[in-house]
Structures are given as C-alpha cells and as structure tokens.
Structure 1
Amino acid sequence: MQSFLEEVVADIIHTAQISDDLVLVVPSKRAGVFLLQQFSKVTKTASFAPTIVTIEEFVKQLSGLRYASGTQLIFELYHVYQELHKEEAESFYSFSKWGNTLLQDFNEIDRYLIPPQEIFSYLSAIQETNHWYVQPNKTPMIESYIRFWKSLKPLYDAFKDHLTQLGVGYQGMIYRKAEENIGEFATSIQPHSHFFIGFNALNAAESSIIQTLLSKEKATVYWDIDPCFLKDHLHDAGLFIRSYLKQWPYYSANAPKGPAPTYHSQKNIRIVGVPKNVSQAKYVGALLEELQDSDRHALKNTAVVLGNEHLLNPVLNSMPASISNINVTMGYPVANTPAASLFNEFIALYVTPQYKGWYYNDLLSFIAHPYIQSLFKTPQKTTSELAGSIKEKNWVYITPQHIQQLSSEDMEVLSLLFSKDYTSPTALLNACDTLLLLLKDLFTSETDPISLQYLVQFHVVFNELKEYMATYDFIKDLKSFQSLYKELLAIETIDFYGEPLEGVQLMGMLESRNLDFETVIITSVNEGVLPSGKTNSSFIPFDLKKEFKLPTYKEKDAVYTYHFYRLLQRARNVYLLYNTEADVLEGGEKSRFITQLLTDDSGEKNISHVVALPAMELPVQENEIIAKDLSVLTVLQERAQKGFSPTFLSQYIRNPIDFYKKYVLGIQEAVNVEEVIAANTFGTVIHSCMEALYTPFIGSQLSPDKLKKLFPDIPRVVKEHYKEHYPNVSLESGQNLIAYHVIQRYIEKFITSEIKESSKHTIELLALEEPFKTSLAIPTVDFPVFLRGTLDRVDKKDGVLRILDYKTGNAKNSEVEITDWESLISDPDKGKAFQLLCYALMYSQKHQPEAFEAAIIPFRNQEAGLLTFAFKESVGKSPKNTSITANTMDLFREQLVQLIETICNQQEAFVAKQL
C-alpha cells in the first residue's frame, strides 16, 4: 500500500516541474525529511530539490519577524508590565506564576485573529460581574483586581509595540502579521508554486493564509484523511477537515486532493493492557525483539509512538541489545539528567533560607548525590563523618559553622557547597559555575562523555542566566533566580544523533504527522493521556472561547483523535498499549479510542484484546529457623552473667528471631536524628523528672502540703532533664515545644492525683529507681544466671506494699491480667504482666515481703487509675486476685525457669513467630 507521502510526491511530479522554486509546506521537520527522501527515490534525473519548509518557517518568512524564545518573552512582558504599573507591579517571582498563562492567551488571540478590543472588553466585564456585591463601595483588593483586568488591553498593545521595535514576536503575533502580509505575498509568487501537505487543525491565521493562496490559484492542499471520517459527521477524526471542505469557498467548485480509502484495509490490531508505565516500556522492548525474530526487516517500517513522552527513558533502557538502529525524534529533557538533580538540590538549599541552618535530611541527600561523591577525595570517610556527627550530636539543622567543625580532607569542596555567602542570585550563580567547572575537570580526566554532554547543556543554561541577569535588574531575590533557572531548564533538551531514515522510529504523537508505517506501537492509550482531557491553562473562560471560536478541550480532543486514527489508516499491524492501573498521575482508564475501536464497524480489521501480566510465583512462606551453635551459647552466658532484663526476656517471647538479631548478633536499630522527641526519650525524660522531684520524699510519708510545693519546680526540672536527654533542640516552637508542655502536664496531673490520694490514704515512699540483680537457679543451665532491672518506685499505701512501673505509652488492663500462667511466656500481649512479675520476683527475693501488689502508672491515661497485676480464674468478670504472695512467685518462677531453659538450650533453635 502506498504511503501518504508517496501518493503526494507522485501527484506533484505528475503535475509540476520539480525545482527549488517549488515550495512544500509541511507540519514538522520530520515530515520534511521523509518527503525529501521520497523525492530522491522517484526522481530519475539530477535536479534541484523543492524547497521544503515547516509551517512555522513559512509564516516567519511572511511576517518578517523572528521568533523570540519563551524566556525572552516572559522577560520582555514583565519589562512592559513594570513600565505600565510602576510601583504597583508585582515581583518577577509572583509575575512568573501567571505571566506564561497570559502569554499563552495573547498567543491564542492572535493566532485566531480575534479583535483584541472586543475580547478584552468582554473579559474585564465578566470579571467585574463575577465580583459584584451589594455594598456600594468595593474593597481595595477588589478594586485592584478589576483594575488588573482592565489593564490587559493596554498591556497587550504595549507589549506588541515593544516586540515590534525589537524585530521579534511570539507565535500568534507572527501569525497575525503573516496573515496581514499574505495578499501582497500572493501577488509576487508563481501560480501553483506552493503545496500544503498533510495539515489538519489549522488556526484562523493559517486558514486565512491558505485560503488566500488557493483563491489566487497559487497553492495546492493535500489532506491526509480517509473519506470514511469525512462522511461520518459525528467522528472527531474528520472534524476540522470536514469544516474546511464545507466552509472554504474554494471547495465549492474544486474537489479535495489527498483523501484515500485506506482505513478499512486488512489490519491486525492488538489491544494490550499492561500494569504501570515501566511494564509498558518492558513490553515494547520484548515486542520489538519478537518482531525482529519473526522478520529481520520488519523493524525498518516500524514506529513506536509514545502517548506519554515521559516514557522515553524507560523505553530506551528496555530496548534489546539485538536492535542496533533506533532513531529518536524527541530530545532528551535536560531536567531528567543527574546534573539537573544536583543543581536543583544545590539551588534549593539556598532559596528557602533557614535561620537555624539546613535541614539535615536535605543536606545528607545532597552530599549523597553521585556527582558530589565523585568530587570528594575520601567520599566514604567524609560522608560517614558528617552523618555520624549529625546523628551523634542530634543536629536537626546544620550551619556552615557545624561543617567547619569537621576534620575532613574534603573541606575545600564542603566549603564551596555550604557557605553563608550565597545570599544573592549573582553569588549563587557563580557558585554553580564553580561547581560545574570542578565537575568538568573531573569528567574530562575520567573520560565520561555522557556526563560532559550534560554539563555542556548546563553551561548554556548558566550563560543564559548571566545574560538575562545582566540585562534585566529585576532578578533580585533567590526565588526569582530559581524560577528563571527552572524556566530555562524546562526547554533545554539533549538531541540524539543518528540516521533519521533507518531502524525503529521512536517518536511522540505530533512527530508522526504525515508519516505511515506498516507496524505501529502506541503506548499509554489511556484517558488523560490520549486524549489529554479537560486541561485549561487560560484566563479566558470557556463560554468566551466558544463565543470567539477559540479552541477548547473539545477541539483539543479532536486533534488527538485525528492523529490516532491517521496512524491506523495505512498500518497493517497495530499494537495499542494501555495502563491497566489507572491513577491521576499516569492517566485514567483505557482510552475512549480503544472503546470506539471495539464498537465501530471494524471492516477488515482483526482486533484482539488481552491483558499482559508478568509471570509471577508467590514464594512459599517458610518459618525462619536459626540453630544455636557454641558461639550463641557463649554470648548468652556472658549476658546471663550480667543479668537478663525483663525487656531482654520479653523480646524472646515476642519473636525469637528478632531476639537473636538484637541480643546475640548485636544488630541495633539505626541511630537516627530525633527531629521530634522519640517515644523512648520521652519516657526517659519523665522517669528522670519524677526521680528528681520525688527523691527528697524517700523514707517519708507523702502529704498534700509537700506535694503542692513541687508545682513551681516542675517547669525548671522538665526543662533541665529535657535538655539533658535531648540536647541541641529548640523548645521555642514546633512539636518539641508541644512535647515539653505535654511532659509538664503529665507530671502535674500525676502530682494532683497524688495530692488527692495522700489526703485520703497513708502513702509512704520507700524507693525510687532502685537497681536489683538477683540470681536464678536454672537446673538445666550449667552457668550462673542473674535477673536484673530497675524498679521505678516502691511505696506503701495504707500498709500495702506496691511496686510501681511508669509507662508513657499505651497500656490496658488486659495486658496486666492473666488467666493461666503459661500465657506469660507464650503470649506477647502479656508482656507488661511478665515485666511486673520480674520486678516483683527481684524485690521479693531481697526483701521477702509476705504479700504485695505490682502495678503500672499509665501517664497517658491517668484517669484510668493504676493498672494492677491480677490473676483471674477465667476470662470475663470473674474475681481478680491482685495480691502477690510466695505462692504467686513460685508459680511465676516455674514459667521463668522454663523460658530461660528454652533460651539457653542448644537443641532449641530460634524459630520465627508469625505476628
């Protein structure tokens, strides 16, 4: 089957004399390359090739103006805006957030030849109506708002005049100027000397230009569309061309050129659902390899069209090694390179100044960047020294002074990266330049051409920044500098070099215009991607756009529809990939285009629909088992000599594997910076404060008068112990200030409850934070075993001895009540009861009281009262026995001995528990 360009070239050669006077206007440079190749194939004799230009180049020649870059336009617009608004003008940083939207609206107004006075009058009237209210006088803010909308027409006029003086323009301005000049241009060219090839959605200026040339018989237009889309008045693929054929006077007497019935030819269409974007990239790679294996020439006429162009990098990385020729028509965004992430982080460190310093996570993330690591002489040592100091000294915020305390060999690089002097855009830009030169020298010595190419592009960006900052004086703050940097970075790309006519063609949807392939693979055919959906970055309301015939999301969807179906027209094998896992960021459900294909009259098309999933094998869950060798017993013996703590034993009950890792191998939890006081530190501070406040009362009876005298000292004591256990933090704001006041409140509430209790009961304080270490007789263990721990408080209430344990976390009655003794060493939820009985055992072996109680003081929920250990005959409301006697200790000792025997038995392996 002939491609569209083959048909066009054949017709042009048949009807016109080929020379450089013949001008062929195409939608894109890509189409021009393939068009020129087709001329070279069919031309038999040597001759000058026709002049091939894109529509933008053609319009620029007509207008006599040059295209200004997006960055130059935003600067020039702000310059004009400043002159008009004087001291009322916003900063460049604030302006940049809406300036690009305004530029886009100016562009649309001119491209569609809208009378500016009319549309701006409508727009200001609409905004004034929207902010109408009953009060006779508007607020200053509303007055300013209405004044802004009324100033758009003067800003538009002044901006265009300013650009005209510079000899440049934005796209719409150039199009409007070209449309004004087309009449004069048409009289100066030869008849039928211009050919417009493969256009679809024309703006009003393009439409007027082409119609003028058609009416004067100076041009020919070739439409790339199947007649079936023209006949179907509901199908969006033919929306624009149908309107041209109906509305342009030329077609009332002339038939259109180009439409050919190809869509209903024999096709194999495979619709493939693939989970997530990366899986689509992997599927594309596997599919190309399969096509190449089946026919080694198949890839010469194959195109991969990326619905979502962010898939470029994953697709390139998924290409099989056997495919040597890949032609990429898109540039690789510089913003996606490692150099971009480096400079983004570096600039961000200084844009949001912290009077406290740099946030430690941002700093650690920055120095972990591969490029920074490569600059260090001793990267591992420098990084570990800095990270170690941050964790050891709990630096949540780091200042240059903190950096200078390090004794690193890389201090020169660190001083460049972390300085207090980068407070102006010029200083920060110079620092970026210095960093770039250091990296350039490094990559030159290491012969790393790819990284060097990245740096070349950044050199371009930084030079542009210098130029703009030298020309314009409104880049005064770092936020404006960052905004400009991001603006420049967003438009920079690294071009791929290769043979444009060889191998697999990898392109975006717009690059596919006018091109036909036998095999087409389209990715991301999801709603929100193809088509892109109802996005509206414009100040012009939808109703006003409809009134002035400006494009809305309806026309935008029709553009995507045309490109999609045009790709299918002449293809024989089509693969449509969509993401089965719909989400906001990666597109919605499968595209309406797929649904439409499945429901339309398919003609000769053979459509299959499958969901591709990677082969998966679920691992069989196996309990982790670790045998005990002599080294394990040696460690256990050493710990037994020092004394097993209740926490140590509770860890084994909870999970023997975690016990093995923590206490046998010595793998501790990572030391992290405490930005907000951690739960264990919070508890330590309360323990420490309670000891400091109550120590004077040891050996005496508590009384309301004594306890009331503690209140004035609470803030001072809490502050001292907070600083002692959690240094280098500010208690002036944030969550740490809240935690500081919570600790005070907990202690005040406890002392208040103690005042009530001591007024009704006799409470004698016997001990605080008393350490114990007692020996245990374990029959099957041939080395000494000790139990150790620290009792938070021992007192007597109305003559009843109480062992009390402070808890600042969650605690419930069910955790200190048991119905059978075996649960103490088998149920992790009884861990608090187990710990209380351990403390009780240590105390009873030393002091041998007849009967006593053990309880938890729950600081988090003091209203619940003490949580006292109790034994019950059954679950439910059966009577509780809270008294701990010699018999209680004997029953507990049996369970404790059994637990320690299990831990120390070499034949009993560590077996993971399923929690």
Structure 2
Amino acid sequence: MTTFIFDVLKDLKNQSTNLSELTFVLPSKRAGLFLKHQLYKVNEQTAFAPSIISIEEFTEELSQLKTISNTELLFEFYDVYNVMTEDKEKDSFEIFSKWAQILLQDFNEIDRYLIPQQKIFTYLSAIQDLKHWSLEEPKTDFVKNYLLFWNQLYNYYLHFTKQLLNKKMGYQGLVYREAVENLEAYIQNNSKKQHIFLGFNALNTSEETIIQELLQNDLAKIYWDIDASFMNNGRHDAALFTRDYKFKWHYYKNNPFNWVTNNYSKEKSVSVYGIPKNIGQAKHIGFILDNLKKEKNNLNSTAVVLGDESLLMPILNSLPENIDALNITMGFPLKSIPLATLFEQLFHIHKKASHTFYFKDVVTIISHPFIRPLFYVNDIDYASKMIDTIHENNLIYISPERLKSLSNTNVKLIDFLFSNWNTIDSTLKNCSELILTIKNALDKNKASNLLSLEYLFRFNVLFNELSLLNSKYNHIKTIQTLHNVYKELLSSETLDFQGEPLQGLQIMGMLESRALDFETVIISSVNEGILPSGKSNNSFIPYDVKLENTLPTYKEKDAVYTYHFYRLLQRAKNIHILYNTEADVLTGGEKSRFITQLELEGIHKINHQIITPYVPIIENVLNTVSKSNDVIEKLIKLAEKGFSPSSLTNYIRNPIDFYNQKILGIQEYEDAEETVAANTLGTVVHNTLEDFYKPLIGSYLSVELVSKLKSHITETVINHFKKIYKEGDITKGKNLIIFEIAKRYVSNFLDLEIEDLKVGNTIKIVAIEANKTVLINIPELHFTVNLKGKVDRVDEYNGITRIIDYKTGNVQQNQVEIINWEDITTDFDSYSKSFQILSYAYMMQLSGDIELPVEAGIMSFKNLNSGFLKFAKKDKSGNGAKKEFLITQDTLDAFHEELKKLIIEICNPTIDFIEKEI
C-alpha cells in the first residue's frame, strides 16, 4: 500500500522538483512527521530537508501574530469589557466568562470566513430589536440592557481586536484575517518560494483566499486526496468541499486538479461490530489487535482511531501484552490524573469561607494517595491517628487548629491544606507549596516515582500559569472564579505519551488521522452524536444568518466528519468499525449514518456482527472455612474466656460472621456518627437507667423514690451522651430529636414503674447490670467452657423474680415465645431474643443468684404499652395454645441441651464454618 504523502512526494520528484527548496504546508504537525519520514524513499541522495509546517504556523508567519490560549483571550476580552461597560452594568468575571466563550467562538468564525464585521453585528442587533418589541414603549430595564448588549457587540469586537493587534497576538480567526491582509506583501517578498499544500479538505475563506492567491502567482501547488466514488456522487458529503473548489476556483479553469483517485473501490475487508457499552468496545479492540498480532507478527501500518477520545484509558488497559511498539498521538487529559482529584477536593471545601470543615471532606483529603504519605513521621501514621480520633470523638465539623493538634509535627502541611485560602494569592501559594512538599517526599525514592513527579510538574506549570494570569490581569476575585479558570485550563491540558511515532500500533483521535494512511484501521464509537457529532448551536449567530453569510453550520461540520471517516477507508485494506449498541445518557445506541451509508453503497461486502460479552455462569458458592488446628486453639481460648449470648446468636445468624469477628478479630468499620446511631441511643438509655437504679439495689421502690428520679433525666442523659457520643453535636437537627427521644424513653419507663406501684404492686431491685461468667458442664468437650454476659436488671415483682433485658427497639410478645426447643438454635429471626433472655436466666441460676421458678423477658421502649414481655413456652394442643410463662428447672434443662449442642457444633473440628444465605 502506498500512502497519499508518498504519492505526492513521488509526483514532485517525477517533475524534477528540488524537494529541499519547498515549503510543505499540512493540516497538522502529525502529518508533517510522517512526510519527513517518507522523504528518504524518494530521495536518491543525501539532501537537506524541506520546510514542513502546519497551516496554523504558516498563517502565524503571514500575520506576524502569536496565537494565544482561550483562557488568556478571556482575560484580555474582560479588560476591554471593563473599559466599555459602566460599573453598575458589569458582570463579574465568572458570569462574563460563560457568555464570552461563545462570543469569542463567533468572533473566530467571522474572521476566519472574512465576513464584514460591522454588517453582521448590525444585522444581529436589528434582529434582536425586532424580537423584543422595538415599537413597544416604555421598554423595561431588562429589555433595554439586553438590546444594549447586542448593540455593543461590534464595539466589543473593534476594541478587543485592536488591543490584541497592538500586543501582536490574536485568536485563530484574527490571525487568519491578518494573514490575508499581509498576503500581498508576503508574495512580493517571497516571489521564488514554492509552497506545497496537501491533505486539506474543508477550507475556511481565509485559507481559500491564501491558497488561491499563491496558486495564481505560481507560488504553490495543492494536492487533494479525494476518491472518484465520492467526487462523482453529487450527494456524497465526503467530497462536498472538494467538488466546490474544483468547479469554483478560477485556477482550475487552466490547471489540472490533483488528485481524484480510485482507491476506495478496491477490494477491502470491512467488519462492523455492534457492542454494548464503551468497555465492551475497548475489550473487543484488544481482541482484534491480539489476532492481528498473531497473523502479521507486527502492527505496523495499523491504527486505532477513537471516535470518542474518552475510550483511551479503557483501550490502553485492554491492549494485548505482546504489543511491543506503540504510539499514542493524543495526550492523557490532566483532569483524569489522580492528582486532579486532590485539588478538586481542596477547591470544593474552600469555595465557601468557613472556619471548620466537614469530617468526610477532611478524611478524603488526608487519605489521598499523594497526601497520606506526608503524614508518616518516624514510622508513625498520623493520618490514621487523625482519622481514628475524628471517628471516635464524632468530630463532624473540624477546625484547622484541632487538626494541627492531632497531626503532631505536620503543622505546615495542615496550613497548606486547610488554612489561608481566603485570598487568591494565598490560595495559589498554598497549591504551589503543597506541590513542592509532595515533590520533596517523592524525591526520596525518585526512581519509583517518575510518573508521579511528571504529574506534579504538569500541575506546577498549570498553577504557575494561573499565578501569571492573576498577576497580569487581576480579574480573579473569588475562589469560585479561580476554580472555574483552573477547570478551564485543566480541561485543555494533557500529559503527552512517549512512544514510537513511526513504528508499531498507532492510537489517535479522528483529527490526528488527517493526510495519514494505514493498511488496517480500527474505528471506535461510530455512533450518531459522535461520528458525526450532530447538531449543536453554541453560537449567538442564528442558523439563517449563518446561511446568508456562508458561515459553516452543522451540515458542513457533519461533512467534515464524513470526509475524515471515508478518507481513513480509502487506502485501507482491513477495516474494523465498532459502535455502541446501548443508550448511554445522550449518546450511543444508534449506529452512525456512516455505517448505513456503507451498507447502501453496495461497493463493499460488509460483515456485520453483534458482539455480546462473555458472561460466565458463576455459581453462588457459599463461603466455607474449615477448622484448622489454629482455629481450634482460638476456639478453646474463646470458650475459656466465655461465649456471650450475642456471639452465639451471631453464629446462629451466620457462622461466617462469627468466624470473622471472634476468630479473625475483624470488627465492623466504625465511621463518625453524623446522626446518633441506634446502638448509641440504646447505650445512653441503658446507662441512664443504671445510674438511677444501681443505688437502689436491695431496696423496694416507692412512688416518691421513682418520681424524684424524673427530675434528673435531662442532666443524666446529657452526661451519657457526652461520654458516648463525645464531641458530637446533639443541640440541633436529627440529633436533637434523638436526644429528646432518649429522655422520653427514660421518662416513659419511670412512668410505667410509678403506675405499677400506684396500683399496689411491689418491686424490689435485686441486681442492675450484673456481669456474670459461669462454667457450663459439657462432658463431650475436653476443655473449659464458660458463658458470660451482662444482665440489665433483676427484680422481685410481687415476690416473683424477674430477669429483664432492655431493648430500645420494637419487640412484640410473639418474639419471646417458642414452641419447639430445637428451633431456638437454628432460627435467628424468630428466636434470637428468646435465646438471649434464657441465657441470662441460665447464668443467674448457675451462679446461685436466683431461685426457680422465675420470669424472664424484655422491656421494649418502643412498645412500653405492652409492659413486661415475658418469655413463654407454648404447647399447642387441641384448638388453643397453652403458654407457660414461669421458667422452671425443666425449662433451663431443655435450654441447656440446646445450648450444649450449639457449643459442641461450634467447637467440633469436623464441622466447617459455612456461610448462610441471607
């Protein structure tokens, strides 16, 4: 396969042209690199390389202006806007930048297409005047200001371009317009210079004017790359522009048109793949490349062209391992680099002036992979210490001073992250100092941190540019505005890859493929809305005005995409086209019209496949852990220390949870409680009642005694919230409601006691929060087994001993009743509460603290109206169900048997811990 560039060089050589004396002008620098590489193929002897430049560089040379970035253009434009606008009508830079970006694009288009500026701006103003009831009087202030804006457009343009020209700089359109202005002088001063234009398609009016003038003065040749299949089809958009130039340019009345080729109709292998989602496309591209590598042994003259450039990283992660030479022509966006998330988070917390910061934001920042290592001092991880302190003390909003006290020697780092972000200068200084601090840390192990150091360098350049813009123009007044400018710069910056520019696989965007040819082409994301991009109206100029002034509309932009797409196919032999079959928000799902057009043309046979990802059938295998000698040893130690009722019910619920918590020691992650958790509420209520009733152990309760306790509810509840919830705030929001609920629970419980006493019941407190550890007799096990737990309350109610467990949740009577004893150790949902209260009764009986029979049950603070919910053994017989509420020796013997079975199962080395389906 010969390339378009080689054909051009060969044609020039056949005309005995001295290539060294030529100036080649191409659509992009990338094409220039390939042209330079092809020179040796046509030169028979050593020669000087010709001048090879892009069209942008050529117009800059003609205009003697320097093209500046969009961001700097905004700042320059705001200078002009400030001078021309009264203070009371001025927009802030932040608001200005939103509409000015669109206006700058319109200025650019008007200049590139050499439209008379005053004519179009006056026309636009008149249109708006008609739209807004020009004859209606009186006009509102809003309408007046709106019309004033449109009337000012021409003045904005004049003053803005004048200021740029005085500074010898400009945007692309202004550079093009000035290039046309200076063209005559350039021709006179370069009368012997020959220019070769190649690979162009959609020329703006400025480019057309420049090229035609040079052609008419015999100072240039132009080579088009268009196929007869497109050129001869008056409806084919791939040749929309080229047909126009061939028939309208005066030059072609007497000169040949170079070239119309016949490459597209040659035999090609065309495969079209419909694939769900972008990741599916990336994976399939990797599969195609792997097969190509096996067939051809190398991927020279193979290109992956990304219709959607966001696929770059997924594709890089999907490349086969056997690809040795690779070149990526597009850069990796800085906004996708991990360091970008750090500065985004910092801007997020500092945009609003505040003396404290939300704990999750603080944890996110100090846990960032670029920040956390900075908190390691003398092998101590102060970041973890800070995070633990925040969680343990429920620090929901944290001040920089508190963070400094927690961070030990890292005071300066805390300052960079959380202090002195109130001015633009201090903010930029903090960012630069932070970058320098990270760099110094990474320099200690430079060899393994090269990529991270490259990230830092690029962000350092970005913040230096921000500092320069701020000091030069002084338009950034708020952190929000700084953040917006930062994002604008970040979106246009990339981290360039290093690769083999002329060898192996090429990965590029659609525009980088201009004037380049490849034998094998893989094009991704060939969907409507991507290729072509479809309608967009990011302009102040209406569609009909664009048509009248020959400005490009979406039709011309679609034709540009059409040309690039078909030009890639012209000389290629193997073509793989991929599209997304799934609707992703606004794009995807609908294949591009280009695919339909390929099918309707009938020139090539198209192999169309719908690719579905391989989804293996994964059986839901329950996690199983066998009991090794180490596990058995830990179980023996646990048994000697004592099984608690909650740990045993945890085993009943799911043996794997028991294994994780009791054998491995893995506890659930405890975050800071922004809202008081249910277990915290329960602990506060338990502890408050403990304070009230512990001094009364051995005493009979009276109405007066319990009534006195009510006056201490608030202070006692507050005291326990401070101990448990620590520095969490209970003075507002949901926490205030929960605080009031805790008080109400205690008050309601005391009211229930008072009502009981008033009707003549006697209540004697026997024990409060009694800690018990008792030995269980299990002859089948050769080691000691203990049962331990804390009994909330034991009292005598009218002479009957009651064992009471407090629950702040909602418990019903049927949850403390059983029918079959064997269910108590197998059905967690139905019988876990029965198991717990029987465990407490069992422990109290073994320790000799109670005499049977007794009652055991639950006080549910959400169901206090039901009173004491007693454990009951139901014996169904006949038509009714008989309930036995008293716990006798027979009851505890039956419970002992089930408890023994459960503990034997837990300790049995032949029975694995098997996960339960929940």
TM range (shorter): 0.7 to 0.9
Once the 2 structures are TM-superposed, how far is the Cα of residue 28 of structure 1 from its aligned partner?
A: 0.9
Q: Which moved more, 1:348-357 or 1:470-479?
A: 348-357
Q: Which moved more, 1:804-813 or 1:689-698?
A: 689-698
Q: Which residue of 1 aligns with 2:328?
A: 328
Q: Which residue of 2 aligns with 1:913?
A: 916
Alignment coverage as a number of residue pairs: 908
Once the 2 structures are TM-superposed, how far is the Cα of residue 513 of structure 1 from its aligned partner?
A: 0.6
What amino acid is aligned across from residue 556 of structure 1 in structure 2?
K
Show structure 2 runs of 5+ residues with no match. Answer: none
Q: Which residue of 2 aligns with 1:654?
A: 653
Once the 2 structures are TM-superposed, how far is the Cα of residue 592 of structure 1 from its aligned partner?
A: 1.6
Q: Which moved more, 1:510-519 or 1:206-215?
A: 206-215
Aligned with 1:822: secondary structure?
helix
Once the 2 structures are TM-superposed, how far is the Cα of residue 518 of structure 1 from its aligned partner?
A: 0.9
- Contact kept? 2:332, 2:494, Cα under 8 Å: yes
Distance 1:874 1:244 in 2: 99
Q: Which residue of 1 aligns with 2:58?
A: 58
Sequence identity percentage? 41
Q: Which residue of 2 aligns with 1:523?
A: 524
- After superposition, the C-alpha distances for 1:261-296 in whole angstroms (9 at most, x for unaligned) are 222211112334566555655654564454344334
Distance 2:747 2:49 in 1: 93
* 1:809-888 equivalence runs, <5 A: 809=809, 815-830=815-830, 831-841=832-842, 846-848=849-851, 850=853, 852=855, 854-857=857-860, 859=862, 879=881, 881=883, 883-886=885-888, 888=891
- After superposition, the C-alpha distances for 1:348-367 in whole angstroms (9 at most, x for unaligned) are 56455542246355445445
Distance 1:447 1:245 in 2: 59
* 1:17-416 equivalence runs, <5 A: 17-18=17-18, 22-44=22-44, 51-88=51-88, 89-114=90-115, 116=117, 148=149, 151-180=152-181, 194-210=195-211, 220-244=221-245, 256-272=257-273, 277=278, 280-281=281-282, 284=285, 287-296=288-297, 298-316=298-316, 323-337=323-337, 339-341=339-341, 343-344=343-344, 350-357=350-357, 359-363=359-363, 365-370=365-370, 373=373, 376=376, 378=378, 381-406=381-406, 408=408, 411=410, 414=413
- After superposition, the C-alpha distances for 1:322-367 in whole angstroms (9 at most, x for unaligned) are 5443333223444444554555555656455542246355445445
Change over 3 Å in CA distance of 1:371–1:838 after alignment to 2: closer
* 1:769-780 equivalence runs, <5 A: 769-771=768-770, 773=772, 776-780=776-780
- Contact kept? 2:624, 2:915, Cα under 8 Å: yes
Matched, 1:679 2:678: yes
- Contact kept? 1:689, 1:721, Cα under 8 Å: yes
What amino acid is aligned across from residue 80 of structure 2 in structure 1?
V
Change over 3 Å in CA distance of 1:807–1:153 after alignment to 2: farther
Q: Which residue of 2 aligns with 1:465?
A: 466
What amino acid is aligned across from residue 501 of structure 1 in structure 2?
L
- Contact kept? 2:31, 2:515, Cα under 8 Å: yes
Q: Which moved more, 1:845-854 or 1:172-181?
A: 845-854
- After superposition, the C-alpha distances for 1:376-431 in whole angstroms (9 at most, x for unaligned) are 554553344334433444434443433443575x5376456456344333233333
Aligned with 2:201: secondary structure?
coil
Distance 2:212 2:579 in 1: 40
Change over 3 Å in CA distance of 1:872–1:594 after alignment to 2: farther
- Contact kept? 2:349, 2:357, Cα under 8 Å: no
Once the 2 structures are TM-superposed, how far is the Cα of residue 434 of structure 1 from its aligned partner?
A: 3.5
Q: Which residue of 1 aligns with 2:429?
A: 430
Q: Which residue of 2 aligns with 1:599?
A: 599
Distance 1:123 1:874 in 2: 91
Once the 2 structures are TM-superposed, how far is the Cα of residue 749 of structure 1 from its aligned partner?
A: 7.0
Distance 1:129 1:758 in 2: 87
- After superposition, the C-alpha distances for 1:674-731 in whole angstroms (9 at most, x for unaligned) are 333333223222333455577799866787x998988876554443322221112233
Change over 3 Å in CA distance of 1:403–1:19 after alignment to 2: same
Q: Which moved more, 1:570-579 or 1:2-11?
A: 2-11
Distance 2:716 2:139 in 1: 56
Change over 3 Å in CA distance of 1:273–1:734 after alignment to 2: farther
- Contact kept? 2:749, 2:861, Cα under 8 Å: no
Once the 2 structures are TM-superposed, how far is the Cα of residue 243 of structure 1 from its aligned partner?
A: 5.0
Distance 1:901 1:375 in 2: 48
- After superposition, the C-alpha distances for 1:129-185 in whole angstroms (9 at most, x for unaligned) are 98999x998887776666555544443333222222222111122233444555776
- Contact kept? 1:800, 1:853, Cα under 8 Å: no
What amino acid is aligned across from residue 460 of structure 1 in structure 2?
V
Change over 3 Å in CA distance of 1:665–1:467 after alignment to 2: closer
Q: TM-score, normalised by structure 2?
A: 0.84
Aligned with 2:270: secondary structure?
strand
Distance 2:265 2:121 in 1: 47
Once the 2 structures are TM-superposed, how far is the Cα of residue 905 of structure 1 from its aligned partner?
A: 4.1
- Contact kept? 1:385, 1:406, Cα under 8 Å: yes
Q: Which residue of 1 aligns with 2:727?
A: 728
- Contact kept? 2:807, 2:858, Cα under 8 Å: no
Once the 2 structures are TM-superposed, how far is the Cα of residue 567 of structure 1 from its aligned partner?
A: 0.6
Once the 2 structures are TM-superposed, how far is the Cα of residue 375 of structure 1 from its aligned partner?
A: 8.2
Change over 3 Å in CA distance of 1:202–1:751 after alignment to 2: farther
Distance 2:653 2:62 in 1: 81
Aligned with 1:600: secondary structure?
helix
- Contact kept? 1:266, 1:605, Cα under 8 Å: no
What amino acid is aligned across from residue 676 of structure 1 in structure 2?
T
Distance 1:251 1:866 in 2: 104
Change over 3 Å in CA distance of 1:144–1:653 after alignment to 2: farther
What amino acid is aligned across from residue 295 of structure 2 in structure 1?
S
Once the 2 structures are TM-superposed, how far is the Cα of residue 67 of structure 1 from its aligned partner?
A: 1.0
- After superposition, the C-alpha distances for 1:469-507 in whole angstroms (9 at most, x for unaligned) are 322223343333333333334333344456633333332
Aligned with 2:381: secondary structure?
helix
Aligned with 1:574: secondary structure?
strand
1:903 to 895, 901, 906: 906
Matched, 1:514 2:509: no
Q: TM-score, normalised by structure 1?
A: 0.84
Distance 1:430 1:517 in 2: 48
Distance 1:807 1:539 in 2: 67
- After superposition, the C-alpha distances for 1:416-462 in whole angstroms (9 at most, x for unaligned) are 64563443332333333344444555555644354444444344334
* 1:778-793 equivalence runs, <5 A: 778-781=778-781, 785-792=785-792
Q: Which residue of 1 aligns with 2:481?
A: 480
Distance 2:530 2:748 in 1: 59
Q: Which moved more, 1:747-756 or 1:620-629?
A: 747-756
Once the 2 structures are TM-superposed, how far is the Cα of residue 608 of structure 1 from its aligned partner?
A: 5.0
- Contact kept? 1:394, 1:674, Cα under 8 Å: yes
- Contact kept? 1:691, 1:768, Cα under 8 Å: no
